[in-house]
Structures are given as C-alpha cells and as structure tokens.
Amino acid sequence: MEVVIVPDARSGGELIAEAMAQLLRRKPDALLGVATGSTPLPVYEALAEAVRSGAVDASRARIAQLDEYVGLPADHPESYRSVLRREVLEPLGVGMDAFMGPDGTAEDVQGACRAYDSALAEAGGVDLQLLGIGTDGHIGFNEPCSSLASRTRIKTLTQQTRVDNARFFDGDIEQVPHHVITQGIGTILEARHLVLLATGEGKADAVAATVEGPVAAVCPASALQLHPHATVVVDEAAASKLKLADYFRHTYANKPDWQGI
Ligand code: PGA
C-alpha cells in the first residue's frame, strides 16, 4: 500500500487528478470509478482545471458510480447520479452516455445490483477507483462488518452515516434514505488501481485502522491491504494517528507509483 501524506486537501486533490490525467493520456477511454461526499471535490476541481487548460482530454473518459441511495428519484438533486452529473461529468465535458451507475429506483433492487456488477465487468472493469472513507471506516456504503468478498447489493445505513450525510438534506436526518445500493468490497477490489483520499482529523482513526490495523470487516477500508495497487492519500490531520507516518513521508512523498495501473 502506498501512503502519501500531503500538506492539505487541495494538494491531495491535485495529486490524484494528475494520476487520473496520466491514466487518460495512456488510455483515453479509461473507466474512472468516482465517489461522492465532500472529500473528493478537490480532485474533481483539479481535473476539471486540467481539462480547461488543455493539459488533458477527458472527452472519451467513462465514469462509473460507486453507490446510490435507494428510492430517491434519479433527478433528485441529492441522488448520487445528480451529484456526479453536477460535480464530475459536466465540469469534465463527459456526457451521460458515458456514465454507468446502479438503478436506485428499480422495482427489483437485487436484480439491479447484479446487473450493475455485470455491466462493470462487461465494460472491462474499473481502471482507477477513487474512494473516500467514512468515520467508521466504510468505503462506498459498505458499513462495518460488510463481507470483504461482498458484491454490489442493498445495504442499510448506520445511524452514524445518516447523521454524517444529513448536511446534504438541509440538516434533516429524516430525509436521508435508510437504504443504498453499493458496490461490494469484492467488487471494489476488482478495480485495477484503488485511490483512497482522506482529509481532516475526523478521519484519523479510520485511516490508522485502514493502514496499520488488521484486515478486518469491522473496518471495511482495511480490505485495501489485500489489493496489489492501493494508494492512500492523506493530509497531515488525517495522518495524525499513523505510527509509521515518518516512514511513509520518507518513502512515498510525491513519488507514488502511479505507473503501476
Ligand atoms: P465525506 O464522506 O467525504 O463527505 O467525508 C466520505 C464517505 O462517507 O465515504
């Protein structure tokens, strides 16, 4: 696992956007797995800036969704499909025809989950999957004690995650759906390169458990230890509980092995 400690969220965003840009230069139709939440926003801003300045062409990129609320209409402003259209596709100039995501409004939710796993495989698999991390160590919406081999499926959110996400619903937890579709941990591990970004002190415990704890379902992100190419980008605050922080600084600062995709 590469652990890259950066001074702040903005530099983390720039570093990961550069990794995505390098990937798109090598493979213009790469399938980028994207995440929602506040943490990835600096990545999308930096990548959109690279597109605007002509440093990279994202017009042939394909975008895959990590998770989705169940029951929110696709055009609801907080459905993850809407969020990603707003924050990723439109700024990059990528059309919805290049977007893949699970159908959170399907009558047969389990069928929709299986269909999404198949669609990802048929598309050739995700080249680079960007991940955030929950304060409880979740990735996607794989809450603690999710099977490390899980596939895309319906999950019930923990109360903590609904509290964390209420800020996107006018602070009203009652509006936060209880159920979601999420790529499973086994699905996520099939991406060729996993890049997890964590910023802020609130993520420090989850980051320490992910990087230095045992591989354990109680911290779903610790499954990254099983992946041959996982990169964890953290700011100083999120790195503050890492015992090996000095080693990581010495080994990986600004020279992660982005070429191993
Ligand atoms: P956040 O969410 O980036 O808004 O903190 C991360 C997550 O829940 O995966």
**CB distance 37 to ligand 1 below 6 Å:** yes
* Sign of the four-CA dihedral 104, 24, 234, 256: positive
Tell me if 162 sits within 8 A of 173, measured CB to CB: yes
Q: Which residues sit opposite 99 in a β-bridge?
A: 63
With respect to CATH, is domain 2-255 assigned 3.20.20.30? no
CA 208–ligand 1 middle distance (angstroms) = 16
Domain ranges in the chain? 2-255
User: For residues 233 and 12, is the Cβ–Cβ distance under 8 A?
Assistant: yes
Q: Return the exposure string of 77-107: e unless at least 16 CB atoms fall within 10 Å of the residue's CB, then b.
A: ebbbbbbbbebbbebbebeeebbbbbbbbee
Q: Is the model's pTM score more than 0.85?
A: yes
Is residue 167 lining ligand 1, measured as CB closer than 6 Å? no
Look at ligand 1, atom 8, and give the residue with the nearest C-alpha: 134
For ligand 1, whether the C-beta of 134 sits within 6 Å is yes
Q: Which atom of ligand 1 is found nearest the CA of 35?
A: 9
Cα distance between residue 29 and residue 59, in whole Å: 8
| Residue stretches of the chain with pLDDT short of 70 | 253-261
142 lines ligand 1 (CB under 6 A): no
What pLDDT, on a 0 to 100 scale, did the predictor assign at position 74? 85
Please list the active-site residues.
67, 136, 138, 143
Please name the residue whose Cα sits nearest to atom 2 of ligand 1: 37
Nearest atom (ligand 1) to Cα of 131: 9
Q: List the structure tokens of 164.
A: 């964390």
pLDDT for the residue 222:
98
Q: Whose CA is nearest to atom 1 of ligand 1?
A: 37
Backbone phi and psi for residue 257, each to the nearest 5 degrees, phi listed first: -85, 65
